[in-house]
Structure 1
Amino acid sequence: MVLFVPFIVCTLALMVDHALGEPRRLHPLVGFGRLAIAVEKRLNTSPERPLPSLLAGGAALLLLMVPVLALAVWVTVALEGPGLIAAQVVALWLAVSLRGLTEHGRAVAEPLQAGELEAARAQVSRIVSRQASALDEQGVAAAATESILENGADAVFASLFWVLVAGIPGVVLHRMVNTLDAMWGYRSPRFLYFGRAAARLDDVMGWLPARLTALTYSLLGNQKLAARCWRHQAPRWDSPNAGPVMAAGAGALNVRLGGPSPYPGGIKPRPLLGGTRVADAASIGAAIRLVLRGVWLWLGVLLAVTALLAAMGYHQ
C-alpha cells in the first residue's frame, strides 16, 4: 500500500483541483506574493549597483523561503499515515493549476471563436505580459497557446515532478521559486541583478521537469516535428527551460508560435517556433487537450511503475 501513496496523492490532488479549482480567497501564493512585494521594496534599494543588488536579491530569497520551507519540512516529519497523505494532497492542490489553466485558455478561445476580438484581448491580457491591445486574432491565439504550453510545465508537470521527488518540501520550494522568478526575473534596470538569484534557482529546479514536459508533448503530438523543433529551435529561445517546452509543444501541435511580439516596452524580437499552421482558437483548445492528455500519461506511467515495483516485491 505504501508504494501506491505517490499515485494516490497525485490523483486526489488533481481531483480536488478539478472539483474546486484554485482557492478564490486566502490563497497562500497570493499572500506570499504580497510579502515578496514588501520585501523587495525594502531591500532593493540600489538596483543600479550590481554587487549590492545581487546580495540583496539573495537575502530576500532566503528571507522569504527559509521559514516556509522549514514549516514544510516540519509538517513532513511531524505527520505520518493518513495525516501526511492529506497534507501532501493539500500542498499539491495549492501548487498545481490544471483547472485554472484550462479555464483561462477557454476564456480566450470562446470569444475568439465568436469573432469578439476585444473580449479575447481582455482575457489574454490576464495571462500574458504582452500588450494585448496590439494583438490581432492570430497574435491573441498564439499568446494564449504559448501561455498554456509554458504554464503546463511550470504549474502542472513541475509540481507533479517535485512532489514525487521531494514531497511537500519539494513542491513548496519549487512553487515559491517559480513565483519569485515570475515577479523578479526581469531584465529591467530594477530587477537585472536583484532577481538573478531567483531566476537562476528557477532554471535549476525547472531544468528536468521542463524536458520531461517537452518529451510528454512530443510523444502525444506530431512526434517528428516536435523532435525537430526541440532540437533546432529551442536553443534559440532566451529561456533554457521555456525553449524546449514551447518548441516541442508548438511542433507537437504543428502550429506557428513565437516571432516578434508587442510588449509595453516595444516590439520584442523572438524566434519562430513550431510548424506552419497559423494559430487560432482551435490551437488554444488543442494545447489544453495536450496538457490534459499529458497528465493522464504521467498518472498512467506512475501507476504502471508502482504496480511493477509491487509485483517485484519492492518495499519502501
Structure 2
Amino acid sequence: MTVFIALLIDRICGEPKQWHPLVGFGNIANTCEGYLNKTAFTNSRQKVNGIIALVIAVLPIVGLFSLISSALLSYPIAHFIYSAVMLYVAVGWHSLIAHANAVIKPLTDNRIDEARLALSMIVSRDTAALDETEIAKAATESVLENGADAIFAAIFWFCMLGVPGVVLYRLSNTLDAMWGYKNNRFLNFGWAAARLDDLLNFIPARLTALSYAVVGDFTTSLRCWQQQGFNWKSPNAGPVMAAGAGAINTSLGGETSYDGKLQFRPVLGPIESAHTLASHQSIQRAGDLVNKSLLLWLFALGLMAWLL
C-alpha cells in the first residue's frame, strides 16, 4: 500500500519543483568533493578520499532516517505517511515520463532543434548534431535505463530496508551521477561511489530486465539480454537496455559523442533495419514498457502482501 500511495502522489504532484532534498544533498556532496578531491593527489590518495567523502556525505543522513524510522514505529499512521512521502521523493516515475514526452512531441512535429534541447535535459551525450533517429535512440535508451534507476531500484530497496534503504540507494545513485565520470577529475575519486551504485543496482537491474521481458517481446528480450547485455560498459545498464531494446524490437547503441569524443558502443536489440530503427514511437514504447513493468511490480507486491 505504501508503494502505491507514493506512486499516486508522484503521479498527481510530480517531482517537487522547489526545495528538492536531492538538491541540498548535491550541495553537501559538492562541498565534500571540493575539500577532498585534488588533482595533485596520487591515485591511491584520491581513492581513499573518495571513500571518505562517500561516508561523510551518506552515512549521517542514512543514520538520521534510520533513527526517525525507529522512532515512528510506535505510531503506525505517522510511520505510513512518512514512508510514503520519502518513497515519493525518491521515485522519479512522473519525471521520467514527462521528460520522454518532452522529446516525443517536437520529434513527432519534426521540430528537431526543440527535440535536441529537450533531450539535452536527460542525457550527458552531445546532442547538437543528432538527427531524428539518433535523438529517438538516445531518448529511448534514457527511458529504459532510468526506469531501472529512478523507479524500480528505489522500490526494491524500500521493500528490502524501508526508508533507510531507499535513502541509501538514492544518495548513492546521486553521487554516482555526480562523481562517476571516467575523467581525470573523477576516475579515482569517484571510484567508491560508482562501485557502491553498481552493487546496489545489481539485483534491481536484473529484476527490471526480467520485467521488461515479461511485459514485452519475451523471446527477443531474453535473447538480446543473454547475447548483448554483458558487452556494455556498465554491468547493470547493459542487461536493462539490452532486454528493453529486445522487448520493444528497437535497435539501440552504436556510436555517439560525449564531450566531443566519439565513442563506439555495442549494438543492443535486434540488428538494425528499417523495421527496428528508433523513432518517436520507440520512445513511446519504452515509456509504455516502463509503465507495464510498474504494474507488474505492483501486482507482485500486492500478491506477496496478501499471501503473507
Q: TM-score range by the shorter chain?
A: over 0.9
Q: Map 1:1-316 to 2 at 5 A.
A: 8-46=1-39, 49-80=42-73, 81-275=76-270, 276=272, 277-309=276-308
Q: Could you give the per-residue CA deviations for residues 39-59 of structure 1, whole angstroms, max 9, x where no partner exists?
A: 111110136611110011000
Q: Which moved more, 1:206-215 or 1:298-307?
A: 298-307
Tell me if the contact between 1:47 and 1:190 (Cα under 8 Å) persists in the aligned partners: no
Could you tell me how far 1:87 is from its partner in structure 2? Answer: 1.0
Could you tell me how far 1:304 is from its partner in structure 2? Answer: 1.2
Q: Return the alpha-carbon distance in structure 1 between the equivalents of residues 129 and 202 of structure 2.
A: 33
Q: Which moved more, 1:34-43 or 1:134-143?
A: 34-43
Go from structure 1 to structure 2 and tell me whether the alpha carbon gap of 1:47 and 1:10 turns closer, same or farther (over 3 Å shift). farther
Could you tell me how far 1:85 is from its partner in structure 2? Answer: 0.8
Q: Could you give the per-residue CA deviations for residues 169-196 of structure 1, whole angstroms, max 9, x where no partner exists?
A: 0000000000000110111011010000
Q: Return the alpha-carbon distance in structure 1 between the equivalents of residues 194 and 41 of structure 2.
A: 18
Q: Return the alpha-carbon distance in structure 2 between the equivalents of residues 264 and 200 of structure 1.
A: 23
Q: Return the alpha-carbon distance in structure 2 between the equivalents of residues 120 and 46 of structure 1.
A: 37
Q: Which moved more, 1:96-105 or 1:75-84?
A: 75-84
Tell me if the contact between 1:47 and 1:53 (Cα under 8 Å) persists in the aligned partners: no
| Identity over aligned pairs, percent | 46
Q: Return the alpha-carbon distance in structure 2 between the equivalents of residues 274 and 220 of structure 1.
A: 16
Tell me if the contact between 1:46 and 1:52 (Cα under 8 Å) persists in the aligned partners: no
TM-score of the superposed pair, with normalisation by structure 1? 0.94
Could you tell me how far 1:265 is from its partner in structure 2? Answer: 3.4
**1:14 maps to amino acid:** L
Q: Return the alpha-carbon distance in structure 1 between the equivalents of residues 284 and 129 of structure 2.
A: 23
Q: 4+ runs of 1 displaced by more than 2 Å?
A: none
Report the number of matched residues. Answer: 302
- Quote the RMSD (CA, aligned, Å): 0.9
Tell me if the contact between 1:48 and 1:189 (Cα under 8 Å) persists in the aligned partners: no
Q: Return the alpha-carbon distance in structure 2 between the equivalents of residues 265 and 50 of structure 1.
A: 26
**2:239 maps to amino acid:** P
**1:86 maps to amino acid:** I
Q: Return the alpha-carbon distance in structure 1 between the equivalents of residues 229 and 102 of structure 2.
A: 28
TM-score of the superposed pair, with normalisation by structure 2? 0.97
List gaps (5 residues or longer) in structure 1. Answer: 1-7, 310-316
List gaps (5 residues or longer) in structure 2. Answer: none
Go from structure 1 to structure 2 and tell me whether the alpha carbon gap of 1:49 and 1:182 turns closer, same or farther (over 3 Å shift). same
Q: Return the alpha-carbon distance in structure 1 between the equivalents of residues 192 and 40 of structure 2.
A: 14
